[in-house]
Amino acid sequence: MEFLKNKINNYIIEFEKSAINHFKYTQEGDWEKANFEIKKINSVYKEIKQLGHFGRSKLLSLIFSDKAEVSSMAATYSMRFDPQKCLDVFKLLSEKNIPHISSAATQAIENWNSNEWYIN
């Protein structure tokens, strides 16, 4: 069990770092590096999903991060796991007027409400 906890914690740390980097590169307009970070996030997310409920719960806990970019990315990837909590986070983020994040949060709410959510 300890091995599994360490594995999940490592994935969560990697997800968090990539979310921060993705936001940084997006703000800098470096789409190549931003896209590289999204690929890393997708890869880590695939591993987290394979770890079942415990892994997804740990990822969901990141929606309460003090870093908006981490909260937003965690909510994006946790939406199917706990839509109400993620929608609540997106609503808060949409009201904060944070470049890139607030508009993405508003778009996420619209996509969810239109049944246009592609991340499982």
Q: pLDDT per position in the chain (120 positions), as tens? A: 787 788 899 999 999 999 999 999 999 999 999 999 999 999 999 999 999 999 999 999 999 999 999 999 999 999 999 999 999 999 999 999 998 999 999 999 999 999 998 888
Tell me the fold of 2-113: 1.25.40
Domain boundaries, the chain: 2-113
HEC-encoded secondary structure of 41-69: HHHHHHHHHHCHHHHHHHHHHHHHCCCHH
